[in-house]
Structure 1
């Protein structure tokens, strides 16, 4: 082995190299470098929900992931982590597995029977829309690139089965919908903060939420017209205070032929449930360019499919949970999980604001057009357009 060249992988047979090294390494030495996939899958009647995520942290030598199901207020989650090398091309960790059946057409995700929770599934996501990029998410804090991530999302149907406590539920694609995303780059909140760095709440950084009104609202959707064509409203809205343009905004109306229509400005007016800050209903005004210097307002209405549903991502290591966070070393072969009987308990929300982050299945309408979507959100303080009910 040559010390300046990483080992060969199967991908190195292809003519796809982007840096002067093999596919066993990446072009940045930053330990926050992450490549992740995520799935949010739900029945159209809001009765059952499944979630899955897998993360590869090349510079941390870690592969981890989570999978789980929710019925009513009960969420069961399984987490797994392992050392990445030498199995660098193996996209499985413990009972979790991710398989590309056909690129951008079909993906299979698996949660095998395991020792920590009585749940399992084998689900195939089949795309119903092209994959669409969001705007690059770049953020500098304390002189460092804290975030430099690109992400695409995709809408689809779901088929297969889910087993809970020994009962198998068939997953019919006509009764289910789903979304997935795939992101890579330098990401925030990867691993535990080093103890010898200045804490993020000291000095002016974009990542501190202390004492400020804050609204994070992320939406992906698929909307059908009466003529059978489809499109989606997709946006990422993140802001402190509510004065002027948001700190970060990415928004597009994406057509099924691949066209992306940029949203110039977006105003979400969402009613959240007071106890657990779950999105209940609301409307989103999207302003897009018209002819010449004119603009067009498009109004979208949203409502929760089931007020109790919304798979929490904190137990999936999206933030500190049980002294865990995604990307951190948890041992050579780690597996755990739990059952939370009432994910909507106000005590959970009060304990950690990141408990608010959930995959909330919604119905979305624009005039006569309707469809389904997934919304994630965080609310802190009093923010314009936000109401608590």
Structure 2
């Protein structure tokens, strides 16, 4: 089955590009976020391709004035991965790993955008994410992370908001491989479904520096995937072998009130301190959404728009577990402190002994954590 994607010299097997292995959960996804210096406007984009399911979908979200506006789109892919457009939402790779254009044209939400993200540094390849349930591959994927700046404009509610690349920053990632997508498996693993997942991701931006760290931990608090680094713009990346997290929690919740990441290696030491002040709900982008979950078949051409009241989402609502908390951030390195902004992405389900999280969504009482 030959498609437009076959005109690009990126084949990895003798098959046409329409075929991506044999795992029905194969996916290929773009993710972006961006925020104004004062944090008053936060935008996020997800755009995914699911070759075995023949689905392409995406979402564009804006958090402003306490309201999270969510535009979601989906269509049948017709086996062609070369056309990165679903309804009014499109992705254009202007300069690979350097510039990407995102457009949201006229649609029923009244929200439109024409934005370009500009890379601030070379992409960081995170360790390959591989986790199994018994003999079943739950996830097996590669991801790159890259902090960016933004230029262009967004129109919402009759107001035009202009982004200047000198001070509107954010993060993009690209991931591809195997994750649970589409409808639930009709025959789960004999060991049962995954009941524990601990995910913390903290990319952040400063005027002349970037930093990031992430960890996937098991139920004992041991990392099975972790990486951290800092970079003064124009200088080499510094990586850290040891990362220790110090938490303060919002009372009786799984929400982080403040976070410090102590990082060290032969390259030296660095400290990242985060103070969250605003919450974005990843369900707006389809993560964990019961209807608009990634890769679900919505038909030939589907569109949806809704608005969430940010303060109305409770910490234990299943639609509100996976969040990106916009945070004031300080990086201390080489005796110098840089002030900036970033996100503390959090998705915590099940046990995590080091932080007092119990099975399900329970936590130890205040004072025992």
Q: Shorter-chain-normalised TM-score: which range? A: 0.7 to 0.9
2:203 pairs with 1:216 = no
1:176 CA drift (Å):
1.2
**What CA distance in whole angstroms lies between the structure 1 residues aligned with 2:115 and 2:272?**
30
Q: Deviations over 1:321-344 (max 9, x none)?
A: 243310111111111120012x23
2:45 pairs with 1:52 = yes
Instruction: Flag the 1:102–1:75 CA change in 2: closer, same or farther, 3 A.
Output: same
1:368 CA drift (Å):
2.0
Partner of 2:15 in structure 1? 21
Partner of 1:7 in structure 2? 2
2:74 to 81, 94, 114: 81
**What CA distance in whole angstroms lies between the structure 2 residues aligned with 1:171 and 1:217?**
28
Partner of 1:151 in structure 2? 143
The 3-state SS of whatever aligns with 1:197 is coil
1:363 to 329, 338, 349: 329
2:156 pairs with 1:164 = yes
Partner of 1:372 in structure 2? 341
Aligned-residue CA RMSD (Å): 2.7
Q: Moved runs in structure 1, 4+ residues, more than 6 A?
A: 386-389
1:62 CA drift (Å):
0.4
**What CA distance in whole angstroms lies between the structure 2 residues aligned with 1:120 and 1:8?**
30
Instruction: Flag the 1:268–1:344 CA change in 2: closer, same or farther, 3 A.
Output: farther
**What CA distance in whole angstroms lies between the structure 2 residues aligned with 1:59 and 1:198?**
20
1:111 CA drift (Å):
1.6
Q: TM-score scaled by structure 1?
A: 0.82
2:132 pairs with 1:140 = yes
Partner of 2:297 in structure 1? 329
Partner of 1:176 in structure 2? 168
Q: Which runs of 5+ in 1 are unaligned?
A: 1-5, 291-295
- 1:1-389 alignment runs, 5 A limit: 6-9=1-4, 11-26=5-20, 28-85=21-78, 87-115=80-108, 117-187=109-179, 189-198=180-189, 202=192, 207-209=194-196, 215-224=198-207, 230=209, 232-243=210-221, 245-254=222-231, 256=233, 259-274=236-251, 277-289=254-266, 296-304=268-276, 307=277, 309-319=278-288, 321-341=289-309, 343-345=310-312, 347=314, 349-352=315-318, 355-358=321-324, 360-366=326-332, 367-379=336-348, 384=354
**What CA distance in whole angstroms lies between the structure 2 residues aligned with 1:71 and 1:199?**
45
The 3-state SS of whatever aligns with 1:77 is strand
Q: Deviations over 1:245-280 (max 9, x none)?
A: 323323333564574444222111233434875444
1:221 CA drift (Å):
2.1
8 Å CA contact 1:354–1:378 kept in 2: the answer is no
The 3-state SS of whatever aligns with 2:203 is strand
The 3-state SS of whatever aligns with 1:344 is helix
Instruction: Flag the 1:56–1:369 CA change in 2: closer, same or farther, 3 A.
Output: same
The 3-state SS of whatever aligns with 2:246 is strand
8 Å CA contact 2:220–2:352 kept in 1: the answer is no
Q: Which runs of 5+ in 2 are unaligned?
A: 357-363
1:359 CA drift (Å):
5.1
8 Å CA contact 2:330–2:337 kept in 1: the answer is no
Q: What is the number of equivalent residue pairs in this alignment?
A: 355
Instruction: Flag the 1:17–1:120 CA change in 2: closer, same or farther, 3 A.
Output: same
